[in-house]
Structure 1
């Protein structure tokens, strides 16, 4: 009888401890996931604060300056993305680059249309700056994982600057049609920035 009670007690204890172990493991996983989500949120908030700071520190460009900056940013993005399609190693980076070609081609069309309806009408100048040409030349020297790292890091920087410019112009720009276009483009740039940050991890 005592032996039977001892066996039953031992079985109950084993089940209880097993359950505790499983609960502890689940709790640990939940805490780890929560910590990871909190870190991601904090990182995104800090990065968005940087965009806000950049926006606050940069004077709002006039209409022609805005369309030129938007156009050469799009041209740079498309050129860098084409490099990524041949030099990148990661399928995720190549997919991001394909997304950039489409999105920045669309953005160029939107800015051109808005500039054409402005009064007076404007024509964007998409000529790359010396810095943009230098950056492309540096990227072109890299291949594989080294390229992936450099390209995505640059994409985070470029999209932070572009987002600050679009938000600022949408809020304070001097040409209504361009303000509307900037307001429509800004959320798309935010998505690209978030995507680039996720790849940068």
Structure 2
């Protein structure tokens, strides 16, 4: 009887877990969970020194996952700027995001593949919702929301890349973060210049 109850409880728990996982569609979270499970599996037993040297840390894997999701978002929003903005400078900034973050995404993919790190195949749910809010805006309203978002995103990205450049366990991931900091800083400077030219006030973010 006890065995039967345990079996039923275990089976119901598995179905519940499957149902929760099945409802989750956040690609960024899935990639992080998959990487952590893989790293835990590789660390089981007594891995050799050679294996330990190539197993990435969870923090390094999370950084690449978040950077990939952020890079995809920058490209998609840059593409949106080409259709929803009437401002030539905003369109040019969006084109720069497509170019720079597109190139950065390709380098990131190659780096992740060399470290056997799984990357998301789409942006996070939160980033998708922000994009959907922007899609509803046109012209000046779009420009103000887009540039404000770019300032907010690049400030956050710079903090994350500075942390990885200082604290990443893997030397190549650390170098990747360090190499991208000047590009992110230049993007932030450009967005801040547009903010001043367009008279966008500093305050609550208009895309929320």
Normalised by the size of structure 1, how large is the TM-score? 0.67
The answer as to 2:114 corresponding to 1:131 is: no
1-structure distance, mates of 2:99, 2:192: 19
Structure 1: gaps spanning 5 or more residues: 1-59
The answer as to 2:103 corresponding to 1:106 is: yes
Q: What's the offset of the Cα at 1:148? A: 0.4
Label 1:154 to 1:108 Cα distance change in 2 as closer, same or farther (>3 A): same
Structure 2: gaps spanning 5 or more residues: 1-56, 197-208
1-structure distance, mates of 2:103, 2:180: 10
Kindly name which structure, 1 or 2, has the bigger radius of gyration based on alpha carbons: 1
The answer as to 2:56 corresponding to 1:80 is: no
- Misfit runs of 4+, over 3 Å: none
2-structure distance, mates of 1:63, 1:126: 18
Q: What's the offset of the Cα at 1:156? A: 0.1
* Counterpart contact for 1:160–1:193, Cα < 8 Å: yes
2-structure distance, mates of 1:190, 1:76: 17
Who is 1:57 aligned against?
none
Q: Point out the structure with the larger helix share.
A: 1
1-structure distance, mates of 2:119, 2:91: 28
Q: What's the offset of the Cα at 1:112? A: 1.7
The answer as to 2:139 corresponding to 1:144 is: yes
2-structure distance, mates of 1:123, 1:129: 15
* Counterpart contact for 1:67–1:124, Cα < 8 Å: yes
Q: What's the offset of the Cα at 1:197? A: 0.5
Who is 1:157 aligned against?
152
Label 1:61 to 1:169 Cα distance change in 2 as closer, same or farther (>3 A): farther
Label 1:61 to 1:159 Cα distance change in 2 as closer, same or farther (>3 A): farther
Which deviations, in whole Å up to 9, do the C-alpha atoms of 1:89-114 show, x marking residues without a partner? 11000000000001011111121222
2-structure distance, mates of 1:184, 1:125: 22
Normalised by the size of structure 2, how large is the TM-score? 0.64
Count of residue correspondences: 140
Who is 1:197 aligned against?
192
> How well do the aligned residues superpose, as a CA RMSD in angstroms?
1.5
